[in-house]
Amino acid sequence: MLDDVPQDIAHNRPAPTAAASGTWTLGDLPVHRLGFGAMRLTGRVAFSSGVPRDRRTSLRVLRQAVESGVNHIDTASFYFSALRSANELINSALAPYPEGLVIATKVGPWRDPSGEWSWATPGQLRGQVEENLRQLGRDHLDLVNLRVRGRDSLAERFGALAELRAAGLIRHLGVSNVTAEQLAEAREVAPVVCVQNRYSLQGGSPDADGLLRACGAAGIAFVPFFAIAGEGREQGAAASGEPAEVLAVARAHDATPAQVRLAWTLAQGPHVLAIPGTGDPAHLAENVAAGALRLTPQELELLDGLHRAG
């Protein structure tokens, strides 16, 4: 609906859509590089046990995301809080799903109704896949990421998912929270179309930059989580807490610090995708608009220095 399209007030024209971020192909599925993470739809803080977000607002955010050109949504069956399930919200808001919408989910960890965490054995992964299928109302999953804990071998668990892919329940496979060695191990079992690791302007594992470059060389998407929040900032940060470098670039573009962080993330390579999450329609519009923000070489050099400093 036209009324729901965010407007660039200064120029009286529609704001940029997610298409401005460019396109990458996950296996054989083209997606805009600016996507949407569903985790925060379930509570004001990730996995919150407090008061959940207003359901109507969460549904509105999902519909607005798709209307704004987002065609890559990241979710998981363990994204839930007291009264909200991200998968159920996605199903309610978007089914029947529009053509070209790619929904990625994760398996490995799971939570019981009380919120206690456990990790699936290889034999339990089929149940997790089937749970995602039920909640999303799908007959197959576009992309399933195996979330890894620690540095143990993932071959047996990834092999179990490869069998489900061969059976037609999964279209493409990815891995999450992995090292370069674990990625190589997974690729010996089955094709990997994406790596979803923690990475941001001021955060990430010691080998994150090397893994990002290796993914680019192999044609594998690199999908950072917490790209805006960074280390220790998952609950958000006021502008006054931002480094001077980020604030300077934001002022130069009349942008928010979060938009600068997203733009820097996308500038790390054409294979880098962003999946910022929010439950607020205004923040969603800001995130989508960040896909059109182009930083100068000098600004990227300035922010790269901040990144190297950690």
Q: What is the pLDDT of residues 27-75, one digit of tens each?
A: 999 999 999 999 989 875 555 555 556 899 999 999 999 999 999 999 9
Rounded Cα gap, residues 104 and 64, in angstroms: 18
Q: Are 247 and 260 in contact (CB under 8 A)?
A: no
CATH architecture of the domain 18-238+269-294 equals: Alpha-Beta Barrel (3.20)
Q: Which of 24, 36, 78, 79 is labelled catalytic? A: 79
Strand pairing partners for 85? 80
Give me Rg for the CA atoms of the chain: 19
Whole-number pLDDT of residue 13: 62
pLDDT by residue (tens digit) across 154-176? 999 999 999 999 999 999 999 99
- What pTM does this model have? 0.91
Whole-number pLDDT of residue 12: 57
pLDDT by residue (tens digit) across 171-221? 999 999 999 999 999 999 999 999 999 999 998 777 899 999 999 999 999
Q: In a 3-state reduction of DSSP, which class is residue 165?
A: helix
Looking at per-residue pLDDT, the higher value among 59 and 4 belongs to: 59
Rounded Cα gap, residues 200 and 224, in angstroms: 7
Burial class from Cβ neighbours inside 10 Å (0-12, 13-18, 19+) for residue 268 reads buried
State the pLDDT confidence band at 270, using cuts at 50, 70 and 90. very high
Give Cα 286 distance to the centre of its chain. Answer: 16
What's the token pair of residue 188?
A: 């010996």
- In the residue annotation, 79 being an active-site residue is answered as yes
pLDDT by residue (tens digit) across 101-144? 999 999 999 888 777 889 999 999 999 999 999 999 999 999 99
pLDDT by residue (tens digit) across 13-32? 677 999 999 999 999 999 99
The domains of the chain are located at 18-238+269-294
